[in-house]
Amino acid sequence: MDRQEIKSMLESIVGESGVKIDEPMNIHTTFKIGGVADYFVTPSSVDELQSVITFLKKSDIVYFIIGNGSNLLVSDDGFRGVIIQLNDTFDGCEFIDDTTVEVMAGMLMSRLGNRLAKKGIGGFEFATGIPGTIGGAVRMNAGAYGGEMKDIVVSAKVLDSDCNLMEISADKLEFGYRTSSIVKNNYTVVSVVLKLEKDEPDKIKARIKELSVKRREKQPLEYPSAGSTFKRPEGNFAAKLIEDAGLKGASVGGALVSTKHAGFVVNKGGATAKDVCELTDRIKQEVMTKFGVKLELEVVKLGF
């Protein structure tokens, strides 16, 4: 099947506006890094998503699903296959009762948090500043400031490896540190049910603002990045190990270990994926040599 046939088939499922060819991935990741994807598809319903994945699987075409691209490092050579983005066209939100809400996987955490605050629903403040979508957050059990997604998730609707839609209750999601059964089984999150709590809108907004100030003070939000670069090693903190290894401020090309928070590798301008990889490899090597601790990337590498 040639490129035009693949494009036509994808367009027959999601419409012409939902398919792009040779799409630059640096505009779809918070790192602002990455070459072009052969195809870039934005389905707007579960049916479209199922049809796209089913077609790609039958045709043996490689694909990868992204949300806001906030935890992703895409190769400078791009991605030979189809990127499926669940974001602006996949962000419905339905209230089941006063404190229970079902959210589509593409909803941005910030957008959801502010919407909940206006309705006087609290318990999501910790997640409001996380720069990703709800689908990715549940998949990785994202957390911040003492809260984790596992604390508020009731269930998740996912597509399994055969593209069947199934609902998994929280106790079967096997939440762990930055992982879940969704990761282990390579499921695709479609929607999530959250159980939250009633509170006064002004109090919720004040807590969101307080956490936002803390983030700006401690994290290098002025530069593009993919968030925390490394997972927290057991009994340690990645940022402390990196700083103690004398690597705060270290750089390769446009990639820099933040001088504000050593747990972040940032794009100080013009960084390539190669720059980031060389710098993170150096960090891993030096931390292992000096402290005997193996650092593991939290950032997902794509197209390498």
The residues that are catalytic are 178, 228, 298
Are the C-beta atoms of 79 and 301 separated by less than 8 Å? no
Taking alpha carbons only, the member of 107, 105, 62 closest to residue 82 is 62
Taking alpha carbons only, the member of 301, 72, 67 closest to residue 192 is 67
Strands 143-144 and 147-148: antiparallel
Taking alpha carbons only, the member of 278, 257, 265, 273 closest to residue 74 is 273
Which stretches within 219-272 are classed as H helix?
238-244
Beta-bridge mates of residue 267: 255
Are the C-beta atoms of 26 and 72 separated by less than 8 Å? no
The CA distance from 4 to 300, in Å, is: 30
The CA distance from 86 to 91, in Å, is: 8
Query: What number of other Cβ atoms are within 10 A of residue 175's Cβ?
Result: 21
How far apart, in Å, are the Cα atoms of 65 and each of 46, 74, 100, 256, 279? Answer: 13, 13, 27, 27, 26
Could you give phi then psi for residue 5, rounded to 5 degrees?
A: -65, -40
